[in-house]
């Protein structure tokens, strides 16, 4: 088993390439974030997992290879190796003299990695590979960026809030349920209103575990929601909505209302 430290992994793609050539290294069975979209907020660092199969030429060992996966979009693979979403760390698990299973993670700090909402899109997966002379850490034999390894969606994290009033409410009285939908804006480093989005109002009767949808409401231009319902029994109210091509889904914590 050969391990590469996170600091080295983060910096390797920024070094000036010494030689662009076929390394003879192949990569297959690439999986990023367990095949799911990567959903990112405005400040929390993310470490999406990555795994793949790697083989290398005869006469070399895994210690002679540095292979760092990265994500890029709207640019070339070479530029993406310098400016895309890069590796946090990788570990090689050798199982033959010429191959290994590789596991590790990518590193995303939205304050630095994601510039604007245009980054909520499909990213290409690539691997920067460097082949070093056997037993040498300074003699670079060849380097290339392996592409065509698949894609992964990066999405904006979203939030939903809810407030049901009055509390308590008279039986069969009118209950007003409000809320707000917001989503990450990486350029502003803040959550902003999610306008014109359809959200489901759901209710769970006290003492039960399942929510049912009561109605669907469209958020206004600021992401705010408002509707009225008849209060008949004690229970919890919440707003929820699913993922889109650019934004993750969100569900508010249930707001309990006592009906008297």
Global confidence as pTM: 0.88
Is residue 225 over pLDDT 60? Answer: yes
Residue 57: exposed, middle, or buried by beta-carbon count in 10 A (0-12, 13-18, 19+)?
middle
CATH architecture of 2-155: Sandwich (2.60)
Nearest to 25 by CA among 69, 63, 65, 59: 65
Domains 2-155 and 158-257 share a fold: yes
Domain boundaries, the chain: 2-155, 158-257
For 167-178, write each residue's pLDDT tens digit. Answer: 999 999 999 999
> Cβ(162)–Cβ(253) under 8 Å?
yes
Mean pLDDT along residues 138-167: 96
Is residue 18 over pLDDT 70? Answer: no
Burial 137-172 (b: 16+ CB within 10 A, else e): eeebbbbbbbbebeebbbbbbbbbbbbbeeeebeee
For 181-194, write each residue's pLDDT tens digit. Answer: 999 999 999 999 99
CATH of region 158-257: 2.60.40.730
């Amino acid at each position: 088993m050969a391990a590469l430290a996170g600091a080295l992994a983060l910096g390797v793609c920024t070094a000036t390439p010494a030689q662009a050539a076929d390394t003879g290294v192949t990569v297959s069975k690439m999986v990023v974030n367990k095949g799911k979209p990567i959903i990112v907020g405005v400040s929390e660092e993310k470490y999406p997992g990555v795994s793949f199969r790697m083989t290398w030429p005869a006469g070399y060992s895994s210690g002679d290879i540095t292979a760092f996966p990265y994500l890029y979009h709207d640019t070339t693979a070479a530029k993406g190796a310098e400016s895309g979403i890069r590796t946090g760390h990788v570990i090689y698990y050798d199982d033959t003299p010429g191959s290994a299973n590789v596991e590790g993670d990518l590193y995303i700090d939205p304050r630095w990695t994601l510039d604007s909402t245009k980054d909520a899109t499909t990213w290409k997966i690539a691997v920067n590979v460097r082949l070093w002379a056997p037993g040498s850490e300074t003699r670079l034999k060849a380097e290339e960026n392996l592409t065509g390894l698949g894609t992964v969606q990066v999405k904006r994290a979203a939030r939903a809030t809810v407030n049901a009033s009055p509390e308590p409410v008279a039986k069969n009285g009118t209950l007003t349920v409000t809320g707000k939908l917001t989503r990450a804006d990486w350029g502003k480093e803040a959550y902003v209103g999610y306008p014109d989005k359809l959200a489901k109002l759901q209710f769970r009767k006290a003492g039960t575990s399942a929510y049912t949808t009561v109605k669907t409401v469209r958020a206004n231009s600021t992401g705010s929601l408002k509707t009225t319902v008849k209060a008949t029994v004690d229970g919890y109210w919440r707003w929820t909505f699913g993922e889109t091509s650019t934004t993750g889904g969100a569900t508010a914590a249930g707001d309990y209302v006592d009906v008297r």
